[in-house]
Amino acid sequence: MSRKRRKKKNTGILILTIFIVAVIIILAVFGIIYGAGKWQKEPHPLKYGEYVSRYSREAGLDEYLVYAFIKTESGFDEKAESYLGARGLMQIMPETFEWIRYRLDEENNPEISFDSMYEAEENIRYGCYLLKYLSDEFGGGLTEIAAAYHAGNGSVSAWLENEEYSENGKLIKIPNPDTAHYVDKISKAYETYCKLYTNDQ
């Protein structure tokens, strides 16, 4: 009897141990997944969400695409300014600002000036207009939009006409290394935003 009881006791202890180990493993895996997601969300925030949602929706853009550009261009610093003079969250250049202002018929609006590009709402509004324009011009392709945002739509149009760089109306190679690197950064940021937040909405 004592051997049977001891055997049952040992079996019970073994089952309990296996159960506890399994629970620990599950909690550890959950912690790693949750921790990794939280760690990735910190450098990929949803700041200025009111403006991003409003103007991306008005332009028919994926808001995660807008976030990817803000993340890449300024790191969410609305007062950012490049050595070339680009300003704000989406780094609008002076000549680009003037072109968009003309397109929006805001040339005579005293409340809109290039200094307005330091303001989050106006910068995102202008940036979304530019992304919409490039999206329409290049058929919504992320590679082409990002390349045009960086190198200009004239450069992208020329590359698309060159069979060495394009195929079926899509860029397969970007001859400018800086632009190629920029497109890669935008693509990765966009993929990260989609991965982190798609299931949260």
Domain positions in the chain: 1-42, 49-200
Q: How far apart are CA 164 and CA 173, in angstroms?
A: 8
Residues in the chain: 201
Q: How far apart are CA 185 and CA 2, in angstroms?
A: 69
Question: What pLDDT score was predicted for residue 199?
Answer: 72
Q: How far apart are CA 155 and CA 99, in angstroms?
A: 17
Question: What pLDDT score was predicted for residue 29?
Answer: 41
Question: What pLDDT score was predicted for residue 34?
Answer: 46
Pick the closest to residue 119 from 94, 146, 90, 98 (CA basis).
Answer: 90
Question: What pLDDT score was predicted for residue 22?
Answer: 54
Pick the closest to residue 131 from 87, 173, 96 (CA basis).
Answer: 96
Low-confidence residues of the chain: pLDDT under 70: 1-39, 200-201
φ/ψ of 167, rounded to 5, equals -155, 125
Tokens of 13: 């202890």
Hey, what CATH class is 49-200 in? mainly alpha
Question: What pLDDT score was predicted for residue 33?
Answer: 44
Paired with 170 in beta bridges are: 167
